[in-house]
């Protein structure tokens, strides 16, 4: 499912779009947020059928060699360990995957060169040679191999990034996270899985869906108060000269401090410092950390932070 870290990233992107566009409304930006999250979930399915297309290409290569005018012994007795991989078979038969990709018309048919190049990269790799040469074949080994294909072949294929960027601007930063989702999905597969094996939902639960909407809305609605707090705790800095993305990161962090009672402030602080590593410089990260730390101490002393629920010891 889409993690809260990715939700925070998407909300940050939408907040930037809201403030930098003159025609964005709260309702329109909220719809765009959910569309953006949906695209990440699309990519989750799209990359899973990519491994199937690579396996299909491998099968076609086997048939071509068998039908040569003078096939060799190896042509007639090919190693089919990859094409008969048990995870490949389960994905191929998975009803949820098939329904979703058919509904949204997902296909790699227009990218035969990518499939060919990925197959070549795979068959030349050490992970493939080691897998193929091993005479035994177990479910665990099949799963581990497919995980390696995603992590060491698909994730590192530069041409894939270019193709995905052409198809959706929302996929630029998602590939690594989506592959981690796929790895978690494969770990749920077992030897007795069948076509009804469940894939991950888009959101873990309704709370995560609501979190996305409420984080965006509360950050925008409470703009004046949030910017005031940032200005107050960065007195030695000209707010106009602070990087705009840094301000937005702090705005979201403080939103969580104040209006999300079930999220520990330490979690929020750590998450937005991590987010700053992607969208800010090292100098900015230290600045953001310092301002948020001062703001948090002030909010606690003025009793503006009220956390409730389990795991919130030390928040008072």
- pLDDT tens digits for range 164-175: 999 998 887 899
Average pLDDT over residues 77-90: 95
Range of weakest confidence among 4-18, 197-211, 231-245: 231-245
Share of the chain above pLDDT 70, in %: 96
* pLDDT (average), residues 246-274: 95
Other beta carbons within 10 Å of 228: 11
Judge whether residue 311 has pLDDT over 70.
no
DSSP the chain: ---HHHHHHHHHHHHHHHHH-TT--HHHHHHHHHHHHHHHHHHHHHHHHHHHHHHHHHHHHHHHHHTSSS--HHHHS---TTTT-HHHHHHHH-HHHHHHHHHTT---TT-HHHHHHHHHHHHHSHHHHHHHH-S---HHHHHHHHHHIIIIIITT-HHHHHHHHHH-GGGTTTHHHHHHHHHHHHHT--TT--TT-----SSSSHHHHHHHHHHHHHHHHTHHHHHHHHHHTTTTS-GGGS-HHHHHHHHHHHHHHHH-TTS-HHHHHHHHHHHHHHHS-HHHHHHHHHHHHHHHHHHHHTT-----STT-TT--
Place of tokens 């198809």: 167
CA dist., res. 217 & res. 44, Å (int): 27
User: Could you read off the pLDDT of 162-202 as tens digits, one per residue?
Assistant: 999 999 988 878 999 999 999 999 999 999 999 999 999 99
pTM over 0.75: yes
- Is 313 or 31 the better-scoring residue by pLDDT? 31
Phi/psi zone of residue 85: left (φ > 0), alpha (ψ -120 to 50 degrees), beta?
A: beta
**pLDDT at residue 310, rounded to an integer:** 62
Q: What is the pLDDT of residue 265?
A: 94
Question: 17-72, pLDDT tens digit by residue?
Answer: 999 998 889 999 999 999 999 999 999 999 999 999 999 999 999 999 988 888 88
Q: How far is CA 84 from CA 88, 137, 141, 183, 249, in A?
A: 7, 10, 13, 19, 47
Mean per-residue pLDDT, 211-228: 96
Specify the domain boundaries for CATH 1.10.940.10 within the chain: 222-301
- pLDDT of 314 strictly over 70: no
Nearest Cα to Cα of residue 279 among 16, 3, 4, 52: 16
Report yes or no: 2 and 205 within 8 Å, Cβ to Cβ.
no
Per-residue pLDDT averaged across 241-254, rounded? Answer: 92
Please determine, for residue 316, whether its predicted confidence score (pLDDT) is greater than 70. no
- Average pLDDT in the chain: 92
User: Would you state the pLDDT for residue 207?
Assistant: 95
In the prediction, which pLDDT does 74 show? 82
For the cut 90, the answer to whether the pLDDT of residue 85 exceeds it is: yes
The tokens describing 225, both together, are 């108060």
Query: Taking the mean position of all CA atoms in its chain, how far away is CA 12?
Result: 15
CB neighbours of residue 101 within 10 Å? 18
Check pLDDT > 60 for residue 313: no
Average pLDDT over residues 271-289: 88
Q: Which fold has domain 222-301?
A: N-utilizing Substance Protein B Homolog; Chain A (1.10.940)
pLDDT digits 0-9 by tens, 114-148: 999 999 999 999 999 999 999 888 999 999 999 99
Share of the chain above pLDDT 90, in %: 79
Output the pLDDT for position 60: 96
Q: How far is CA 309 from the centre of its chain?
A: 28
Burial class for 283, CB neighbours closer than 10 Å (0-12, 13-18, 19+): exposed
pLDDT value at residue 229? 94
Q: In angstroms, what is the C-alpha Rg of the chain?
A: 24
- Per-residue pLDDT band for 77 (boundaries 50, 70, 90) equals confident
* pLDDT value of position 186: 97
**Cα(296)–Cα(271) distance, integer angstroms:** 14
The confidence band for 271, taking pLDDT boundaries of 50, 70 and 90, is very high
Nearest to 118 by CA among 128, 133, 130, 105: 128
**What is the model's pLDDT at position 243?**
87
């Amino acid at each position: 499912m889409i993690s809260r870290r990715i939700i925070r990233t998407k909300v940050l992107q939408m907040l930037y779009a809201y403030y930098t566009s003159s025609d964005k409304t709260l309702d329109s930006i909220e719809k765009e947020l959910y569309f953006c999250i949906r695209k990440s979930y699309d990519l989750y399915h799209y990359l899973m059928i990519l491994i199937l297309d690579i396996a299909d290409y491998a099968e076609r290569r086997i048939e071509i060699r068998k039908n040569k005018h003078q096939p060799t012994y190896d042509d007639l007795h090919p190693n089919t360990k990859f094409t008969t991989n048990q995870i490949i078979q389960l994905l191929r038969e998975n009803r949820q995957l098939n329904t979703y990709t058919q509904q949204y018309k997902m296909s790699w048919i227009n990218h035969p060169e990518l499939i060919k190049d990925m197959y070549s990269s795979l068959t030349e790799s050490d992970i493939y040679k080691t897998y193929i040469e091993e005479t035994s074949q177990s479910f665990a080994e099949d799963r581990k191999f497919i995980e390696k294909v995603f992590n060491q072949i698909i994730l590192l294929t530069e041409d894939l990034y270019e193709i995905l960027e052409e198809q959706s601007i929302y996929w630029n930063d998602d590939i690594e996270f989506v592959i981690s989702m796929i790895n978690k999905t494969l770990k749920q597969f077992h030897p007795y899985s069948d076509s009804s094996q469940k894939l991950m939902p888009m959101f873990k639960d309704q709370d995560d869906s609501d979190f996305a909407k409420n984080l965006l809305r509360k950050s925008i609605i409470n703009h004046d108060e949030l910017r005031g707090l940032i200005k107050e705790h960065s007195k030695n800095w000209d707010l106009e000269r602070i990087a705009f993305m840094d301000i937005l990161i702090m705005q979201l962090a403080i939103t969580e401090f104040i209006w999300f009672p079930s999220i520990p402030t330490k979690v929020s602080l750590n998450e937005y410092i991590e987010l700053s590593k992607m969208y800010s410089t090292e100098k900015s990260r230290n600045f953001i950390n310092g301002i948020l730390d001062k703001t948090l101490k002030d909010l606690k002393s003025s009793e503006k932070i009220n956390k409730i629920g389990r795991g919130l010891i030390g928040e008072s």
